[in-house]
Amino acid sequence: MSIVEVVLALTVLLDRLKGLIMQNIGTPLQCEQLKLSPEREGNLKLSDDMQQSLALLAGFSKNQRIIIESSPVGALRVTSARIIDVKHFTATADNQTQQGDNVPCSEVMCMGHPDNTGKVWVRTLADATINNSWPLGAGETMSMSVDNFRDLQMLIALDTEKLIVAYA
């Protein structure tokens, strides 16, 4: 056998082993929302179709399994998170940068104040500038996913202009 054939044979073998490992869960499947009865213990064997079903039923967020739920008739309900609060940011000088407070949240909804005459620039995770942020004119809106309200960065171009932010 040539080196290429040995490498190919090892690749196929590793792929088959990986498939066996994926089908055999060594730790209990713990997800309170599934209400497994009786509670399963280790070495649970999963068929290919069960693996696909679990992948469709479960999401993963912050190192935790989350079951995707539907209504009794099978319709998924997709919605934004419930609003925690609404905050108005007002500039006290031209080209002022600000950011949100340290509050855990998953979404921010931004709107340029209806009375603004200039632009407000928004983004996440870096200082907002006119070259790297999203511009919002009066009454224009934008939503962004975040992990914390402090992730929201803004540049308010004109003194006394405002950005209205609802965070959830």
3-state SS, one letter per residue, for 67-84: ECCECCCCCECCCCCCCC
Does 159 lie in the same domain as 104?
Answer: yes
Does 91 lie in the same domain as 157?
Answer: yes
Does 89 lie in the same domain as 29?
Answer: no
Does 61 lie in the same domain as 120?
Answer: no
Contact 138, 129 (CB under 8 A): no
Contact 155, 119 (CB under 8 A): no
Q: Please indicate, yes or no, if residue 146 is contained in any of the structural domains.
A: yes
Tokens describing residue 36? 């497994």
Q: Please indicate, yes or no, if residue 26 is contained in any of the structural domains.
A: yes
Residue positions counted in the chain: 168
Domain edge (last residue) among 32, 67, 102: 67
Q: Into how many domains does the chain fold?
A: 2
Q: Which residues does 121 contact at the CB level (< 8 Å), separation at least 6?
A: 128, 129, 130, 133, 134, 135, 136, 154, 155, 156, 157
Residue 93 host element (H or E): none
CA 87 to chain centre: 22
Does 100 lie in the same domain as 60?
Answer: no
Does 137 lie in the same domain as 96?
Answer: yes
Does 108 lie in the same domain as 38?
Answer: no
163: amino acid identity, one letter: L
Does 92 lie in the same domain as 160?
Answer: yes
Does 41 lie in the same domain as 105?
Answer: no
Tokens describing residue 70? 């539907």
Q: Which domain holds residue 7?
A: 3-67
Q: Please indicate, yes or no, if residue 156 is contained in any of the structural domains.
A: yes
Contact 43, 20 (CB under 8 A): no
* pLDDT tens digit at each of 168 positions of the chain: 667 676 667 666 666 555 544 455 555 555 666 666 666 565 666 677 776 676 667 776 666 667 777 777 777 766 777 899 999 999 999 999 999 999 999 899 999 999 999 999 999 999 999 999 999 999 999 999 999 999 999 999 999 999 999 999
Domain edge (last residue) among 17, 34, 67: 67
62: amino acid identity, one letter: K
Q: Helices 3-23 and 48-57: crossing angle, nearest 10°?
A: 60
In three-state secondary structure terms, 18 is: helix
pLDDT (0 to 100) of residue 38? 61
Q: What is the pTM of this model?
A: 0.59
